[in-house]
Chains A and B, each alone.
Chain A
Amino acid sequence: MTARLRGVLAPALTPFNARLEPDPARFIAHCRWLVDNHAGLAIFGTNSEAASLSVAERIVLTDALVEAGIPASKLMPGTGACSITDAVALTRHAVGHGAAGVLMIPPFYYKGVSDDGVFAYYSEVIERVGDDRLAIYLYHFPLLTQVPITLGLIERLLKRYPKAIAGAKDSSGDWNNSKAMIDNYGHDGFDVFPASEALLSKALAIGGAGCISATVNVNPAGIYAVFTQWNQPGGEQLQAQADVVRKIF
């Protein structure tokens, strides 16, 4: 894949028309505005209603973005699925376009699964995709999935697939967990993105890579300003301004 994505990413909203079909024109316009405001595109995340989209719909929308000139280097499509077959198809498609990475939620229908099982899922996808360009960002959202990406699992995956495992989005809302991910694996090139800009300055200060936050959909410039200026005079004020918007949502 292309150079690692750092910075501020939006789980880009997916517009639908009156027949509830995805609307590529609105999607392209929204994503173009986000990119123009320095945001990366974590399309097909939770706030994208990804779980309500078929594999074919995700592929069509991704193709539409690339054909519209949105740089693949700005893309981190969500390709996780309960079916390994679907996950492989989506991941192959993203890699084929040269996406900067893929964001992979673990299979979440079955609860109480073991780390061994989740390891086997990611391993199977990586082996089947079989492409050196693959960069996977593990999606930790235990409240929603009840299938956590544990520190032990990250360690095992990094040991076995040091090139393919690129980082994580941490939607736990637990700063201590984000910090532990960064402290333990950041030095190995494991890029951690907390799911809220409220943690952005704190994360960047210890080596975090940015944030992937729903609010980026509406406040990309304000959050990007925090990313670029958090440690400069006025940085605290920028963080506070972004926090005000965040709290309203």
Chain B
Amino acid sequence: MKRVVAEFARDPGWRTVRPPLTAMDDTPAADLLATLRDAQFDMPGYPRL
């Protein structure tokens, strides 16, 4: 979830999670974001850096 917010906010800082959780790896994140784009998903008006 945070990885998606980071993408749409253009803010990599959103990727950070507290241990013991770990941030999503780039490969599954890229797959997730591609799937969302295919579904025409958007977060309109989300505040960007």
Q: Name A's B-contacting residues (CB within 8 A).
A: 13, 15-18, 20, 23, 26, 29-30, 32-33, 36-37, 47, 49, 52, 214-215, 217-219, 221, 244-245, 248-249
Task: Flag if A248 contacts B36 (CB, 8 Å).
Answer: yes
Residues on B with beta carbons closer than 8 Å to the beta carbon of A52: 18-19, 21
10 pairs from A and B in contact (CB 8 Å cutoff) = A15-B2, A15-B14, A17-B13, A20-B18, A26-B14, A29-B47, A33-B45, A49-B21, A218-B8, A218-B43
A sample of 11 more A-B contacts (CB under 8 A), given A18-B16, A221-B44, is A15-B14, A20-B16, A26-B11, A36-B45, A49-B18, A52-B21, A218-B4, A218-B43, A219-B43, A245-B41, A248-B35
Residues on A with beta carbons closer than 8 Å to the beta carbon of B13: 15, 17-18, 23, 26
Residues on A with beta carbons closer than 8 Å to the beta carbon of B8: 218
Distance to closest chain B CB from A79 (angstroms): 19
Task: Flag if B41 contacts A49 (CB, 8 Å).
Answer: no
Interface hits, B13-41 → A, CB 8 Å = 13-14, 16-19, 21, 32, 35-36, 39, 41
Task: Flag if B21 contacts A217 (CB, 8 Å).
Answer: no
Count CB-based A-B contacts (< 8 Å).
62
Task: Flag if A249 contacts B1 (CB, 8 Å).
Answer: yes
Of the candidates B11, B17, B41, the one whose C-beta lies within 8 Å of that of A16 is B17
Number of interface residues of B (CB under 8 A): 23
Residues on A with beta carbons closer than 8 Å to the beta carbon of B41: 218-219, 245, 248
Residues on B with beta carbons closer than 8 Å to the beta carbon of A20: 16, 18-19
Residue in A closest to B39 when the chains form the complex, CB atoms: A244
A1 to B43, CA, bound (A): 32
- The A interface, classified by DSSP as helix, strand, loop or mixed, is helix
Residues on A with beta carbons closer than 8 Å to the beta carbon of B4: 218, 249
Which of B13, B19, B32 has most A Cβ within 10 Å?
A: B13
A214 to B4, CA, bound (A): 12
A29 to B46, CA, bound (A): 9
Residues on B with beta carbons closer than 8 Å to the beta carbon of A32: 47
A23 to B17, CA, bound (A): 12
A52 to B11, CA, bound (A): 22
Task: Flag if A15 contacts B21 (CB, 8 Å).
Answer: no
Residues on B with beta carbons closer than 8 Å to the beta carbon of A214: 1
A145 to B24, CA, bound (A): 24
Distance to closest chain A CB from B5 (angstroms): 6
A218 to B46, CA, bound (A): 9
Task: Flag if A49 contacts B39 (CB, 8 Å).
Answer: no
Distance to closest chain A CB from B46 (angstroms): 6
Residues on A with beta carbons closer than 8 Å to the beta carbon of B35: 248
